Amino acid sequence: MEEYALDLIRQHIARKFKGHRLAYLVEAILQAEGYFTYRSPEGPDGGVDILAGRGPLGFDEPRLAVQVKSGDAPVGGPELNQLRGAMGKLNARVGLFVSWGGFKGAAEKEKAQSFFEIRLWDANDLIQALLANYERLPDDIQAEIPLKRIWILLPGEEEG
């Protein structure tokens, strides 16, 4: 049942948050986690869709440079290198790469090497972040992704 529910959420987000709208959703999740953000306008963005920092004005660490890809195709090393280069230019110490379509083998292999520098979120990671922060998301996003928490009993041994 859980997998079915997550599949429905995945399909709904894919329909409602295409293109730059996915960056809007990621920004809202980061804001719900306490980040102060700037989202680039639609169009060429130089490898960064969102800048995020802690503190009242966003000057505190960690400072994130975020790249969001909403397509179904997995991304690889060149896209990761583009984010890394943009991080250097923008003085962002850490990065977040969100790829709805996932990551190619080269990017997956780089997870350990980039552990303290870049996080990779695929669709499943984004959905987990959405669920963890849902109650703190803006009303318009909650209206576009109407979710209700339910409790179900897990199958297991009968107590006796």
- CA nearest 86: which of 64, 70, 106, 107? 64
In this structure, are residues 117 and 96 in contact, taking their beta carbons and an 8 Å threshold? no
CA distance 108 to 75: 10
**Dihedrals φ, ψ of 83, to 5°?**
-65, -45
Q: Give per-residue burial for 68-102: e unless 16+ CB within 10 Å, then b.
A: bbbeeebbbeebbebbbebbeeeebebbbbbbbeb
The pLDDT of residue 32 is 98
Per-residue pLDDT of the chain (160 residues; tens, 9 = 90+): 889 999 999 999 999 999 999 999 999 999 999 999 999 998 776 779 999 999 989 999 999 999 999 999 999 888 999 999 999 999 999 999 999 999 998 787 878 888 899 999 999 999 999 999 999 999 999 999 999 998 888 887 665 5
In this structure, are residues 107 and 75 in contact, taking their beta carbons and an 8 Å threshold? yes
CA distance 119 to 33: 15
Per-domain boundaries in the chain: 2-144
Amino acid at position 137, single letter: L
Sign (positive or negative) of CA dihedral 46, 47, 50, 54: negative
Predicted TM-score (pTM) of the model is: 0.92
Tokens standing for 105? Answer: 């083998």
CA distance 108 to 114: 10
CATH of 2-144, one of 3.50.50.60, 3.30.160.250, 3.40.50.800, 3.40.1350.10: 3.40.1350.10
Q: How far is CA 156 from CA 5, 8, 150, 153, 159, in A?
A: 21, 26, 19, 9, 9
The pLDDT of residue 102 is 95
The pLDDT of residue 47 is 77
The pLDDT of residue 45 is 66
